[in-house]
C-alpha cells in the first residue's frame, strides 16, 4: 500500500559535529550544465580546515557535542565581524558556504509558490541570488562595513561587486528582537532580493512585505478572515495606516515594522473589540500570522489556484518561521507520479478545510440534538451556539460563559457544551470524510478493491489520515481546550468553528 500522507514530524535539538557539518565548507555554485539542476556542490578546503579547527576548540573547552548549531553560528559570526582579518575572512567563508544552501532552498520555495503558472522554475531565480563562487576571501571593512577582498599579495581591495551571501551576513542581527535564525534570515533576504522581485514583476507577481499586505488588503480578502483576524486588520489600519499617511513620501522605501507605541495603541483598540492579547510581542506574532494568510491569498488570487500548502509556519514561542513538514513521502509515490504534486498538495490542504467545515456543521447539529434528548439540560440547548461562540471566538472560560448565559455554574456549562466530546466527534467525522474524499479524488490510483479485501491496507490508510489531521488540526485544538489559564483560541479548528458560527448568526438574523 503506497503512502500518501507523510509521518508526523518530531522536534528535536540538533547538535553539531565535524562529520555532519559539511554545509560550512561545501558551497553551492551556479552550474547550468549540472544535470539540469543548475548548480553543483564545491568543497572548499580552506573553509573545511578552519571549521574543523573550530570544532576541535569547542570539544576541548566544552566536551564533545556540548554545543548547538546556534553556538557555532554565533561564534563564526563574531569572528567574521572581528578585527582579525585572517580569522574574519575564513569564518566568513564558512558562513558563505552555509547560506548558499538556504539561498537555493528559498529560490525553490519561491518558485513553488508560483509553480501553477508554469512560466519559470527555481533555476531561473538561482543566477540572480547565488552569485558566490568561493574563490575570493571577503571581509567587511571600515565603519561602513563595505565588502573588501584580498589580492594575491594579501593586499585588501574594494570588491568589484557585493556578493549577496556576504550581504546576508552583513545585515543579520544576532540580537534582533524577531529572533530570526540565520537560515530564516537568508530566506527573507532572498525573497526581498531586488533582482528576484524585478524578475517576478515581469510575470505580474509581487513579493510584498507583511505590512504592505496589511495595507492593501481588499474587501474579498477581508471577508475570508475570521472575526478575530478582521479585528486585527482593523487595528492595524486604524493605527499604522493612519500614521503612514501622515509621514512624508519616501519613494519606494519598505514599510518599517510597527513601533512599540503603535503596537500598544493597537492593543487598546483590540481590547475595546473584545480581543485580549497579553503583550506587544504576542500581538506581533498574531499580526505575522494574519500576514501569512494574506500572502497565501494574494499569491492564490494571481496564480488562479490555491497555494499547495503553507510553505512556512510560525513558531508562536519565538515569532520565527520554519519550513512546513512535507505531506507526501516522495520515495513512495507509486501511481501518484502521474499526478502533479502541486495539485496533490493543494488538494490535501483545501480538502482538509472542506471536510473540517462539514464535520463542524454536522458535529454541532448532532451535539445540540443530544442535549435536547437529556431532560435536565434540554432547556439549555438553545444556548449551545452562543456558548461555543464565547468559548472559541472570545476565549472565554466555562465559568464566565455560565455566568454570561445564565447556565448556573461552570460544571453545568461544561456538561452542556462538552467541548472535549465535541472535538472528538468532529475529529471522527473529519477522518471519515477525508477518507471518502481521498478515494473519490484518486480513484484509479488508490486500489479500492485492495482496501475492501485487505484489512491491513485499510487500517494503514486510516492511520495515515489520522496522523495527518491530528498534526494539522486536532493536536493543537486539544491543547487549547486543556489550557485553563491565558487561553488563546487561535488554532485552525477554533478559526473554522468561529467562521461557521458567524455564518450561522448572519443566516438567523
Residue ranges of the domains in the chain? 18-201, 210-247+257-323, 339-508
Given a cut of 90, is residue 165 above it in pLDDT?
yes
Residue 175: per-residue pLDDT = 66
Rounded CA-CA distance 329/45 in Å is 35
Q: Of residues 368 and 308, which shows the higher confidence score?
A: 368
Average of per-residue pLDDT across 270-283: 85
pTM: 0.47
User: Are 9 and 468 a contacting pair, CB within 8 Å?
Assistant: no
Find all residues with CB under 8 Å of 467, minimum gap 6, and list them. Answer: 5, 7, 8
**At 264, is the secondary structure helix, strand, or coil?**
helix
- How many helices and strands, by DSSP H and E, does the chain display? 23, 7
Long-range contacts of 299-307 (CB under 8 A, 24+ apart): 299/113, 299/114, 299/205, 302/204, 302/205, 303/113, 303/114, 303/116, 303/117, 304/116, 305/116, 305/346, 306/346, 306/349, 306/350, 307/113, 307/346, 307/349
**At 39, is the secondary structure helix, strand, or coil?**
strand
**At 496, is the secondary structure helix, strand, or coil?**
helix
* Nearest partner of 180 among 93, 73, 258, judged by Cα: 73
Alpha-helical runs (H) found in 382-491? 384-388, 394, 398-405, 410-417, 419-441, 448-453, 455-469, 475-482
Rounded CA-CA distance 75/87 in Å is 11
Rounded CA-CA distance 74/176 in Å is 13
Average of per-residue pLDDT across 97-108: 91
Residue 306: per-residue pLDDT = 40
Q: At 154, give phi and psi (nearest 5°).
A: 85, 10
Choose the most confident range, by mean pLDDT, from 6-15, 177-186, 412-421: 412-421
Residue 161: per-residue pLDDT = 82
Rounded CA-CA distance 509/507 in Å is 6
Reported as type and span, the H/E element at residue 150 is strand 146-150
Rounded CA-CA distance 336/316 in Å is 34
Rounded CA-CA distance 243/245 in Å is 5
Q: Each residue of 176-206: b (16+ CB within 10 Å) or e?
A: eeeebbbbbbbbbbbbebeebeebbeeeebe
Residue 207: per-residue pLDDT = 60
Cα dist from 407 to 378, 379, 394, 482, whole Å = 12, 10, 18, 21
Residue 443: per-residue pLDDT = 55
Given a cut of 50, is residue 334 above it in pLDDT?
no
Range in 80-89, 95-104, 216-225, 363-372 with the lowest mean pLDDT: 216-225
Residue 2: per-residue pLDDT = 33
Provide Rg for the chain, Cα atoms: 26
Given a cut of 50, is residue 228 above it in pLDDT?
yes
Rounded CA-CA distance 481/502 in Å is 21
Range in 146-150, 252-256, 369-373 with the lowest mean pLDDT: 252-256
* Residue showing cell 574574519: 88
Averaged pLDDT of the chain:
75
Rounded CA-CA distance 439/343 in Å is 15
Range in 137-151, 204-218, 313-327, 449-463 with the lowest mean pLDDT: 313-327
* Nearest partner of 117 among 311, 304, 310, 340, judged by Cα: 304
Rounded CA-CA distance 278/185 in Å is 27
Given a cut of 70, is residue 236 above it in pLDDT?
yes
User: Are 134 and 93 a contacting pair, CB within 8 Å?
Assistant: yes
Residue 300: per-residue pLDDT = 54
Amino acid at each position: 500500500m503506497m503512502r500518501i500522507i507523510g509521518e508526523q514530524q518530531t522536534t528535536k535539538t540538533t547538535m553539531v559535529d565535524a562529520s555532519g557539518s559539511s554545509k560550512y565548507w561545501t558551497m553551492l555554485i551556479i552550474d547550468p550544465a549540472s544535470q539540469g539542476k543548475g548548480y553543483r556542490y564545491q568543497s572548499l578546503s580552506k573553509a573545511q580546515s578552519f571549521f574543523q579547527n573550530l570544532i576541535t576548540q569547542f570539544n576541548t573547552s566544552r566536551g564533545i557535542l556540548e554545543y548547538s548549531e546556534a553556538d557555532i553560528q554565533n561564534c563564526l559570526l563574531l569572528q567574521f565581524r572581528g578585527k582579525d582579518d585572517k580569522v574574519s575572512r575564513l569564518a566568513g567563508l564558512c558562513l558563505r558556504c552555509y547560506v548558499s544552501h538556504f539561498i537555493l532552498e528559498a529560490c525553490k520555495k519561491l518558485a513553488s509558490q508560483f509553480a501553477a503558472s508554469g512560466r519559470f522554475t527555481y533555476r531561473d531565480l538561482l543566477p540572480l541570488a547565488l552569485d558566490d563562487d568561493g574563490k575570493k576571501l571577503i571581509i567587511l571593512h571600515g565603519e561602513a562595513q563595505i565588502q573588501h577582498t584580498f589580492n594575491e599579495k594579501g593586499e585588501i581591495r574594494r570588491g568589484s561587486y557585493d556578493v549577496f551571501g556576504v550581504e546576508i551576513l552583513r545585515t543579520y542581527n544576532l540580537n534582533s528582537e524577531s529572533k530570526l535564525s540565520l537560515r530564516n534570515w537568508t530566506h527573507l533576504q532572498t525573497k526581498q532580493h531586488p533582482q528576484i522581485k524585478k524578475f517576478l514583476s515581469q510575470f505580474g507577481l509581487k513579493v510584498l512585505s507583511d505590512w504592505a499586505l496589511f495595507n492593501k488588503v481588499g474587501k474579498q480578502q477581508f471577508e475570508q478572515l475570521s472575526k478575530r483576524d478582521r479585528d486585527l486588520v482593523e487595528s492595524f489600519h486604524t493605527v499604522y495606516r493612519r500614521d503612514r499617511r501622515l509621514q512624508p513620501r519616501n519613494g519606494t522605501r519598505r514599510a518599517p515594522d510597527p513601533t512599540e507605541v503603535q503596537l500598544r495603541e493597537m492593543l487598546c483598540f483590540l481590547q475595546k473589540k473584545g480581543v485580549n492579547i497579553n503583550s506587544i510581542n504576542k500581538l506581533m506574532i498574531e499580526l505575522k500570522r494574519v500576514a501569512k494568510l494574506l500572502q497565501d491569498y494574494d499569491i492564490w488570487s494571481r496564480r488562479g489556484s490555491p497555494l499547495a500548502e503553507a510553505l512556512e509556519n510560525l513558531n508562536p514561542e519565538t515569532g520565527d518561521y520554519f519550513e512546513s513538514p512535507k505531506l507526501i513521502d516522495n520515495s513512495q509515490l507509486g501511481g501518484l507520479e502521474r499526478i502533479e504534486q502541486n495539485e496533490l498538495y493543494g488538494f490535501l490542504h483545501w480538502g482538509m478545510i472542506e471536510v473540517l467545515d462539514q464535520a463542524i456543521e454536522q458535529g454541532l447539529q448532532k451535539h445540540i440534538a443530544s442535549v435536547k434528548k437529556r431532560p435536565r439540560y434540554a432547556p439549555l440547548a438553545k444556548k449551545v451556539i452562543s456558548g461555543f461562540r464565547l468559548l472559541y471566538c472570545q476565549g472565554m472560560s466555562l465559568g464566565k460563559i455560565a455566568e454570561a448565559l445564565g447556565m448556573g455554574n461552570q460544571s453545568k456549562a461544561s456538561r452542556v457544551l462538552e467541548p472535549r466530546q465535541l472535538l472528538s466527534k468532529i475529529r471522527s467525522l473529519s477522518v471519515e470524510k477525508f477518507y471518502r474524499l481521498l478515494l473519490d479524488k484518486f480513484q484509479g490510483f488508490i486500489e479500492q478493491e485492495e482496501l475492501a479485501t485487505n484489512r491491513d491496507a485499510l487500517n494503514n490508510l486510516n492511520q495515515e489520515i489520522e496522523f495527518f489531521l491530528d498534526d494539522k488540526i486536532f493536536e493543537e485544538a486539544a491543547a487549547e481546550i486543556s489550557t485553563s489559564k491565558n487561553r488563546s483560541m487561535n488554532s485552525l479548528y477554533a478559526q473554522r468553528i468561529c467562521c461557521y458560527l458567524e455564518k450561522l448568526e448572519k443566516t438567523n438574523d
